[in-house]
């Protein structure tokens, strides 16, 4: 192991200089974990075996709360529209 203070790829505090890392042979940025990929494939396969889109339609009819929760988790959150005056917010109770 190289001495932190004498290493060519570290500064005086022992921190890595830009462009250097402790594990240059590690997993590349953006690569996916094998366990995550395996789980994703298993979930997609089970979705198809349950009936795919038809299963989702049935879920929406029989358990609308569960379907809505799933939908809210999967859809991207809407960003407020930018304007010069103000940000528009939906009032849940306009009569108050």
Written as one string, the DSSP assignment of 48-86 is: HHHTTHHHHHHHHHH-HHHHHHHHHHHSPPPPPPP-SS-
The answer to whether position 69 is within a domain reads: yes
| Residue 4 pLDDT | 46
For residue 63, being part of any structural domain is answered with: yes
Q: How many domains, the chain? A: 1
Instruction: Evaluate if pTM is beyond 0.85.
Output: no
Write out the residue range of the structural domain in which residue 64 sits: 34-74
56 falls within a domain? yes
Q: Is residue 94 part of a domain?
A: no
* 72-82 per-position pLDDT tens digit: 998 888 777 76
Query: Is the pLDDT confidence value at 35 over 70?
Result: yes
How far is Cα 55 from Cα 52, in angstroms, rounded to an integer? 5
DSSP state of 93: -
Q: Is residue 89 part of a domain?
A: no
Q: Percentage of residues in the chain with pLDDT exceeding 70?
A: 76
């Amino acid at each position: 192991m190289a001495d932190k203070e004498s290493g060519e790829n570290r500064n005086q505090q022992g921190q890595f200089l830009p462009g250097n890392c402790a594990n240059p042979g590690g997993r590349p940025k953006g690569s996916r974990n094998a366990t995550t990929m395996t789980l994703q494939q298993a979930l997609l396969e089970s979705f198809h075996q349950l009936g795919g889109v038809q299963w989702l339609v049935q879920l929406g009819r029989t358990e609308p709360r569960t379907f809505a929760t799933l939908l809210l988790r999967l859809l991207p959150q809407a960003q407020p529209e930018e304007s010069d005056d103000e940000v528009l917010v939906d009032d849940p109770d306009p009569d108050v």
